[in-house]
A and B are shown apart, each in its own frame.
Chain A
Amino acid sequence: MSWREAARLSDVAFTELALQAIFALRQGNVLPPGPARALVPRARRRVLQSKLVIGGVLALFTLGGAYALSSAPLLHSSLAQGISSGEFRAGLLTGLFSLDVAFLWWTGMQVLPTFLAAGVFPLLETLPIDERTVARTASLLYLRLFDLPALTILVVTPLFVGLELGPLAGLAVVPGAVATVAFALALSLLTGRFFVRRVQGSRGGGGNAVVRWGYLVLWLLPAFAMFGFVIAAPGYFSLLRSIAETGSSTAGDLLFGAFPFPFAALAAITASGPDGMGLAAGGLDVLVAALGGYLALAAVAIYWVFASVRRIGLVPATGVRPLMPRAVALHSVRPAYAVLVKDLRIASRTPGYAFLILLPILDALALGLWTYASAPSATAANSLGLAAVTTSALLATFFGPAFFAIEVFAHSYARTLPLSGRSLLGGKVALVAGMYLVASAVVAGLTLPRVFDPTLFLGFIAAELPAVLAASLLELGILLRRAEARGLPITNLYAGAWIAFLVAIPGLLVASLPLVAFQLAGAWTPDLALSLMGLVALAELALAAPFAAGRERS
């Protein structure tokens, strides 16, 4: 058997994977209406669209990086005075590679559970094909999850950098692009294995839930790497400047040696020479050694991915059983609360959903802590705190529609239960409101002792709450109506994300309107701004609630 045979088998397996990713039939969703023969082409088309979207986002990162490189003189003077133009370019490319790794890794983390749950690997093992072909098929199947996004990094990045800094610099970016893709693929697989072992198979009970949520926070790291880069860019350049001023040091060596700076520096040096980087001989040695080390590590990562995909695809999710089982007792609650608890329990073993719940809360934590670093005055802390609450409201609203997709799990069973649309909406809206309130409480806990007007701050949180509820009711009401008419929309990264995005637009508008009212009113009647904001939010809730509750699910 050959690579060609493996490629053919992986194509068939990918069709099954696409079908499961889009329609989630193995996870208990019902067959959508319409002719069955159209399902496979539809699934493949939707997966391709999603890959194009992800590739497009990565291309946008590169385009942004290229734009920053082309505007280097202007940006350099405003962002990074005191460092050489070569270091500035290396800093920009470091940011680009960091974003690429983080985004590709994050993408991998979102799709890995579906990849493992599709049940393709156990089926492959039963086929009369040799071990090597099975391993190759598994590897090719894994690579196909990332093909377009990875190609975007491997082709578009050198192309744009080459256009900005010259063809040689474009070529010099290639090793960095390869290492970026290799590390992202390996990290995705590593976290995928971690998910199967530590999260998916984790037993029930409060203690285990705490441990699971703790693990899931780790899953957020790549997303925060993206977020952190944006926030930390000025600090990063000032660190580079201080290293340039003090000369060679351990901190400088660590910074020059940290991935992906050596790859970024390689392109910058190719474009402007070692003098343009302002590097001492010691710094150059560190770069060369780090480059060699990372390239070797990338080769090991690729080898490990090829050797491990098949094994990881067969890992059973099993927990450790205690000697004494807990007593059988059921704590039934009100249906809406049961929906909320069920969603939280599912999210605690499903990283994609845990991510959506944790992100606004951790974002609030990061912004709350940031006020200590960047807002020495009470007024500035107040403004930053309000901005953090605003972000929490908008993030919670934006992610609200995605929680509807949890209903896809076991939908073919759950639809036979007498669950009313109102209870379903109640549970989901409570989750969104809970995210907003917890995130706001985190901000309040961190900033209240320092803000100049605690009453305004707490009033702001309370006044925005009806708007968050209204936005969530509107979004989920639209999705519920759509589900009744056309089946459940599956909204994850590789399937129908556009539905969640579209529905989030009116939601975001509703959540934003009281904030805009607060800002506008604040300009001419500051005393009434908060009251006006609250009135607008309550009016929105009064309009959205009848819309959402208007139709009852049968």
Chain B
Amino acid sequence: MAEAVVPLRVDGLSVVYGERPAVDRLSFTVGRGEIYGLLGSNGAGKTSTIRSIVGLVQPVGGRVEVFGLDHRTMGRRVKELIGYVPEVSLLYEALTPREFLEFVASVRRLDPKVASERARNYANAFQLVEEFDEPIVTLSNGTRQKVLLLAAFLHQPPLLVLDEPLNGLDPRSVRIMKELLARYAANGDRGVLFSTHTMEVAEQLCHRVGILDRGVLRGEGTVAALREKVRAGDASLEEVFLRLTEEREAVRAAVDALGGPE
């Protein structure tokens, strides 16, 4: 029987920088209506995985399929299906949010009325209206992040790929984003891939999580299933994460080595 078409299928993905492997034969899927959290420490390979999915990094092995379309052969069609928020908000510094979003809306061939209405709604929600005509170079990191979020939602993509999307956001915007993502996925046909190293956020938001450590997937499933896997009772996701990545003892040793305050 043929496999069901899912928003995202990553199969045996490997990424290498120079001689250093960043991602090693990684496989996972993001189903319809699902928010999938990719968790990991700094340098675990989350961003490399995400950059491979959106076509910024050329993997040395494996494949990425978005709604059944292979990124290598159907690159532009795949890009039409994805809304992406990068880890670092590197935008056209010389443009204003309005100018940047007009460019994005044009490249995505959005109807001006539809694009304007969506932009207005999101700009109001994220309190971005006052900065809409300021050059991006003058904006704070949090405001740039809001511009990127707006750009990602502008075409209401069936797959959202978000790399640390809550970075720099104020508490109000964080709450809005969480609610928004939950409702977005609840539509049933869409998928959300979400990377973070904030365990509480992942625990609240994600239907399933994948725990990445030095480029390898150490565990995957619902938080409850992962707890069961490491026999963690009702421990927090942070505890589960440390057990799966075998970092629990190392963390304790590191704290002991630091000692108390001097």
Chain A bound to chain B = yes
The interface of chain A, by Cβ under 8 A from chain B, is: 26-28, 30, 33-37, 117, 200-205, 316-319, 321, 325-335, 337-338, 341-342, 345-346, 348-350, 409-410, 412-420, 423, 552-554
Min CB gap A200→B, angstroms: 6
**What B residues does A345 contact at CB under 8 A?**
94-95, 99
Besides A333-B106, A416-B82, 11 new A-B residue pairs in contact (Cβ under 8 A), listed by A number: A33-B58, A201-B137, A203-B134, A319-B138, A327-B120, A328-B116, A330-B105, A349-B94, A413-B91, A418-B76, A419-B107
**Cβ-defined contact, A412 with B130, below 8 A:** no
With A35-B18, A330-B116, A554-B75 already in contact, the answer to whether A341 and B133 are too (CB < 8 A) is: no
Bound complex: CA A335 to CA B105 (Å): 9
The interface of chain B, by Cβ under 8 A from chain A, is: 17-19, 54-56, 58, 72, 75-77, 79-80, 82, 84, 86, 90-96, 98-99, 101-112, 115-116, 119-120, 123-124, 129-130, 132-135, 137-138, 148
Partner of A332, one of B111, B134, B138: B111
**Cβ-defined contact, B18 with A418, below 8 A:** no
**Cβ-defined contact, A418 with B94, below 8 A:** no
Min CB gap B75→A, angstroms: 3
**Cβ-defined contact, A328 with B95, below 8 A:** no
Total CB contacts across the A-B interface at under 8 A: 154
Would you mind naming 18 contact pairs between A and B with Cβ atoms under 8 Å apart? A27-B93, A200-B94, A201-B135, A203-B96, A203-B133, A317-B137, A319-B135, A326-B98, A327-B120, A328-B98, A328-B129, A329-B116, A331-B102, A332-B102, A346-B94, A552-B76, A553-B76, A554-B72
Min CB gap A64→B, angstroms: 37
Min CB gap A480→B, angstroms: 14
**What A residues does B107 contact at CB under 8 A?**
335, 338, 417-419, 423
With A330-B98, A331-B102, A337-B106 already in contact, the answer to whether A317 and B135 are too (CB < 8 A) is: yes
Secondary structure call for the A interface: loop
Complex: chain A residue closest to B84, CB-CB: A416
The 8 tightest CB contacts between A and B, nearest first, are: A554-B75, A338-B106, A28-B90, A204-B96, A332-B105, A418-B79, A35-B18, A349-B94
Bound complex: CA A414 to CA B119 (Å): 19
**Cβ-defined contact, B18 with A36, below 8 A:** yes
Bound complex: CA A3 to CA B56 (Å): 43
**What B residues does A26 contact at CB under 8 A?**
90
**Cβ-defined contact, A28 with B101, below 8 A:** no
**Cβ-defined contact, B112 with A330, below 8 A:** yes
**What A residues does B103 contact at CB under 8 A?**
338, 341-342
Partner of B123, one of A34, A328, A413: A328
Bound complex: CA A331 to CA B102 (Å): 6
**Cβ-defined contact, A28 with B56, below 8 A:** no
**What A residues does B101 contact at CB under 8 A?**
330
**Cβ-defined contact, A30 with B56, below 8 A:** yes
Min CB gap B106→A, angstroms: 3
Min CB gap B261→A, angstroms: 21
Bound complex: CA A330 to CA B124 (Å): 14
**What A residues does B129 contact at CB under 8 A?**
325, 328
Bound complex: CA A283 to CA B87 (Å): 67
Complex: chain A residue closest to B122, CB-CB: A328
**What A residues does B86 contact at CB under 8 A?**
412-413
**Cβ-defined contact, A328 with B84, below 8 A:** no
**Cβ-defined contact, B138 with A318, below 8 A:** yes
**What A residues does B124 contact at CB under 8 A?**
328
Bound complex: CA A200 to CA B80 (Å): 32
Bound complex: CA A214 to CA B130 (Å): 26
